Structure 1
Amino acid sequence: MHLPSVDVTPNTNGLPGLAALERIVGALLTFGLVAAVAGVVISAVAWAIGSTSSNPHIAGRGKNGVLIAGAAAMLIGAANTLVTFFSTAGAAIR
C-alpha cells in the first residue's frame, strides 16, 4: 500500500490580517524587552539592598532575578532566530 505524500509549506498570503498579527507580535516582543529591563533594575536594587543590609537571602534573590531577567531578554531577542532554526531543522527531516 502506498501512502500519498503531503507537502505543505508556510506562506504569507494564506490568511488575511497576517501583517496586523506580525505588528502585534512585534509589540509583544517590545513589551517583553521593557519588562526584562524593569526586572533587571528591580532585581539589582534588591541585590544592592540585600548586600548592604547583610541579608544574604534578599541579595541571592536579587542575583537570581538579574540572571533570569537577562536570560529572558536573550530569549526574547533570539526568538525569531530560534523559531527559524527549528523550522528549518524540522523541514529538513524527510
Structure 2
Amino acid sequence: MLATEVLNHLAYDPGVAPAEGGLPGLAVLKQVVSSINLFAVIATVGALCVAGIVWAWGHHTGSHGAEAKGKQGALVAAGVALLLGAANGLVAFFSALGTQVK
C-alpha cells in the first residue's frame, strides 16, 4: 500500500453530523437538561448567599479563616454561575471549532 493510499484511508470522512429529529425523545432530553441547568443556577444562588454570610461573619468576628473561605466560596459561586450561563455558547463555540478540523 502506498503512503498516499494510507493517508487517504486515514482521512476518510464518515459524514456524521448532529441532526435534530433522528431519535425520539430529543425534546424531552432538552427539557431535562434545561431543568438541571435551572436547578444548578438556583443552587448557585444559594451557595453565593451562604458564602456571603460566612464572609461577613468571618469579618465581623475576626475569624480570618472563615473570611477567606467566604471569599473563596463567593468566587467559586461566581465562576459556576459564569459557566452555567455560558454553557450553550461554549458548547456551540467548540462544536463549531471542531467542525473546522480537517
Q: Which has the larger radius of gyration?
A: 2
Question: Is 2:92 aligned against 1:84?
Answer: yes
Corresponding pairs, count: 94
TM-score by length of 2: 0.89
1-side partners of 2:56 and 2:18: how far apart? Answer: 48
CA root-mean-square deviation: 0.8
Q: Which position in structure 2 is the counterpart of 1:6? A: 14
Give CA-to-partner distance per residue, 1:27-57, whole Å, 9 cap, x none: 0110010011001000000000000000000
TM-fit CA distance, 1:5: 2.8
Q: 1:55 aligns with which of 57, 63, 81?
A: 63
1-side partners of 2:39 and 2:78: how far apart? Answer: 15
Q: Report which structure shows greater RCO (CA 8 Å, sep ≥6).
A: 1
TM-score by length of 1: 0.96
Consecutive unaligned residues in structure 1, runs of 5 or more:
none
Consecutive unaligned residues in structure 2, runs of 5 or more:
none
2-side partners of 1:66 and 1:15: how far apart? Answer: 41
Q: 2:17 is paired with a residue of what secondary structure?
A: coil
TM-fit CA distance, 1:74: 0.5
